């Protein structure tokens, strides 16, 4: 089997509007100055548990900030998102080429699964793996659980006996994949800062959604 691991926020979906609105709501509710728009966009991708402290939330108020954020996100923010134009067609092309597709996201799985279902991506992927609700761990941990689960599904024979590729838009996608000896194809349409993906060691970076499947298949040795 050839496996493609797919990040969600910034790779398959433009999730920034809902995430940044809920983050700003949390800062305002706590009476703290909200980050500017550029800083708010940096919240998209990494665990919220690390992003809040990095932007001024004191340790003693972190649990409160996370609670307020999640309440607002669950009510409205998680649905304020769109699938990037062209993504479904690219996923369909990868499946037609024989790839298994699995979402591997740092977003808590309790949010990721209904989002994938609500926005019509569920029929195009073979599984959705996310972080626990407390968001403890790293992207590498999410990938590890996805790989282990797929192996268990194999039954008597190995399922993960072909090449594996990660596709993501942030440095933690690249680093998490590398911990498992997996190359990461970066995507330019997400939320990475200029040069972030290259500096992290992405094997390549694709600029346009329309080129995603062809570039992934080429890196997997399946041609264009």
- The two beta strands, 99-108 and 2-6, are parallel
Residue 47: name the closest of 30, 25, 62 by CA.
Answer: 62
Confirm if 24 and 56 have CB atoms less than 8 A apart: no
Q: Give the 3-state secondary structure of residue 204.
A: strand
Distances (CA, A) of 212 to 42, 94, 104, 164, 185: 23, 9, 17, 15, 9
Cα gap 197→201, rounded to integer Å: 6
Catalytic annotation on 9?
A: no
Reported as type and span, the H/E element at residue 49 is: helix 48-54
Two tokens, residue 28: 């305002």
Options 7, 14, 72, 173, the catalytic residue: 7
Residues belonging to the active site: 7
């Amino acid at each position: 089997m050839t496996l493609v691991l797919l990040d969600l926020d910034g790779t398959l979906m433009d999730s920034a509007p809902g995430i940044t609105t809920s983050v700003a709501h949390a800062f305002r509710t706590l009476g703290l100055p909200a980050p500017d728009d550029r800083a708010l966009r940096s919240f998209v991708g990494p665990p919220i548990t690390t992003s809040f402290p990095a932007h001024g939330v004191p340790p003693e108020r972190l649990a409160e900030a996370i609670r307020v954020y999640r309440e607002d996100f669950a009510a409205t923010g998680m649905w304020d998102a769109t699938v990037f134009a062209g993504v479904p067609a690219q996923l369909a092309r990868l499946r037609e080429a024989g790839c298994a597709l699995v979402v591997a996201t740092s977003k808590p799985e309790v949010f990721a699964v209904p989002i994938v279902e609500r926005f019509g991506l569920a029929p195009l992927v073979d599984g959705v793996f996310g972080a626990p609700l407390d968001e403890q761990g790293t992207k590498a941990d999410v990938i590890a659980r996805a790989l282990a689960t797929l192996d268990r599904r194999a039954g008597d024979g190995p399922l993960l006996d072909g090449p594996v590729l990660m596709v993501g838009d942030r440095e933690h996608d690249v680093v998490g994949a590398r911990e498992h000896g997996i190359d990461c194809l970066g995507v330019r349409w997400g939320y990475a800062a200029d040069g972030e993906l290259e500096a992290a060691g992405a094997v390549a970076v694709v600029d346009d959604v329309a080129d995603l499947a062809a570039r992934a298949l080429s890196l997997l040795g399946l041609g264009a």
